[in-house]
Amino acid sequence: DTAVSQTPKYLVTQMGNDKSIKCEQNLGHDTMYWYKQDSKKFLKIMFSYNNKELIINETVPNRFSPKSPDKAHLNLHINSLELGDSAVYFCASSQSTGVGEKLFFGSGTQLSVL
């Protein structure tokens, strides 16, 4: 049983298109995250939700819109895709005890914008 699952695993699309990535966790965690890993493997936080409430929103273009329908799901919708959006997007989750809980990561969605 996969703890944090993302779909799709690969996403190849044209510039200007709109696409979504879905994430689900079955760990009972109440905090979920989106991270972006670029071609140099740098990992940057994009968004975080706690109990369906947005708590972290880094300097991400407005074309990126996260949505958390419930505690177990966090989706990422991207409008008007650009070449620079090509990256691997990781979903993660943790429990929110406030004392440094570890993150559980999904296996990533490799987005290629042509």
Partner 1 sequence: AQSVAQPEDQVNVAEGNPLTVKCTYSVSGNPYLFWYVQYPNRGLQFLLKYITGDNLVKGSYGFEAEFNKSQTSFHLKKPSALVSDSALYFCAVTTSGTYKYIFGTGTRLKVLA
| Interactions with partner 1, residue window 39-58 (CB under 8 A) | 40-45, 48, 50, 55-56
Regarding 102 and contact with partner 1 (CB under 8 A), the answer is yes
- Footprint on residues 62-91 left by partner 1 (CB under 8 A): 90
- Rule CB under 8 A: is residue 59 a binding residue for partner 1? no
Q: Which residue has the tokens 């409430």?
A: 53
Q: Is 93 in the site for partner 1 (CB under 8 A)?
A: no
Q: Which long-range contacts (CB under 8 A, 24 or more apart) does 20-23 make?
A: 20/75, 20/76, 20/77, 20/78, 21/75, 21/76, 21/78, 21/89, 21/91, 21/109, 21/111, 22/73, 22/75, 23/73, 23/74, 23/75, 23/76, 23/91, 23/106
Give the pair of three-digit tokens for residue 34.
């989106």
Q: Which stretch binds partner 1 (CB under 8 A): 11-19, 60-68, 77-85, 93-101?
A: 93-101
Nearest-approach distance from CB 47 to partner 1, in angstroms: 11
Among 25, 68, 75, 94, binds partner 1 (CB under 8 A): 94
Residues that bind partner 1 (CB under 8 A): 4, 31, 33, 35, 40-45, 48, 50, 55-56, 90, 92, 94, 96, 98-100, 102-108
